Amino acid sequence: MALSTREAYGEALRKLGAKYDFWVMDADLSKATKTDLFADAYPERFINMGIAEGNLMSTAAGLASCGQTVFASTFAIFATGRAFEQVRNSIAYTNLNVKVAATHGGVLIGPDGGSHQAIEDISNMRTLPNMTVVVPCDAASTYEAVEQAINLVGPVYLRFGRFPGDDVYKTGSCPFEIGKGNVLIDGNDVTLIAIGDMVPESIKAASILKQNGIDAAVIDMHTVKPIDAPLIIEYAAKTGAVVTAEDHNIIGGLGSAVAEVLAENCTARLGRIGVQDLFGRSGSKEELKKYYKLTAEDIAEKAMALVEYKRTRR
């Protein structure tokens, strides 16, 4: 059974805690964010701030100002919504070494419902100067993302999910460099660019497309900021059609980031799979995938429409 990215995050903290001197802070959600795994192993480097997310972020900044690396964890909605201005002024404006590591990003976190499903977190974090935004898609890439965040000086937003998905990479052999997208499948007809849970969905979409005679490339764009513009430009030129897929509002997230690159550099047609400017609702992960049209079939359908568009324009 694959690990969820939040579980992989907790495991990564626990393992990397032996190798690096960093701190972890949480706001009474350590059992859900899985920072409890670190807390149990390194209690002297763990600080529970209670249910006070704004205070969590500014206190983390003060700790980081003493030359420390700090992971500040809570749910994505609280980290980037309630505490947005603390992240902005205490962490990003100061360029301090705080990793805002949030779990429960997106609508696919399931039964908690719309109040807890962050659909705007990537957008919020992406607009902050100094902030790097990383969304790993499975356990192996989560481990790499956490280790690279430790080695990157400055603020990083890390977004993790709630439920397990299919593993994309093998543990220990995951190519991962912040700022460089990973081409998982090469192709010539259309490019699927995805993050998080939508990466395995895009891989499935590529096989659906293959059955329909369409040769799709799949890119894991784990770093949404700084986005890998050269790779987007290369694949837009090569395939002429791009579909983005994310468990996030289509406004402001991966789709917008890719659209910005395409609009300034390319003539490729873009389609965006994501939450269509709606709030979330309770349900199981699979039910919500269907409800919000985040399935492999939805991605494949969008890709086929773009390929058809290209054909009629030829």
Catalytic residues: 53
Smaller CB distance to other proteins: residue 64 or 254?
64
Q: What share of the chain is helix, strand, coil (3-state, %, to 5)?
A: 45, 20, 35
Please give the residue ranges that form the binding site for other proteins (CB under 8 A). 44-45, 47, 49-50, 52, 54-55, 57-68, 85-86, 89-90, 93-95
Smallest gap from residue 299 Cβ to other proteins (A): 41
CA distance 312 to 102: 44
Q: Is 37 or 60 the residue whose CB approaches other proteins more closely?
A: 60
Minimum CB separation from other proteins for residue 55, in Å?
A: 4
Q: Find the shortest distance in angstroms from Cβ 45 to other proteins.
A: 8
- The residue (of 87 and 168) whose beta carbon lies closer to other proteins is 87
> What pairs with residue 69 in β-bridges?
22
Q: Provide the edge-to-edge strand list for the sheet that holds 69-75.
A: 46-48, 22-26, 69-75, 98-103, 156-159, 132-134, 223-225
H/E stretch holding 194: strand 190-194
Residue whose C-alpha is closest to residue 175's, from 200, 133, 145? 145
Q: How far apart are CA 99 and CA 141, in angstroms?
A: 16
* Beta bridge partners of residue 190, listed in sequence order: 216
In the bound state with other proteins, the residue whose beta carbon lies nearer, of 94 and 282, is: 94
- Cβ of residue 83: shortest distance to other proteins, in angstroms? 10
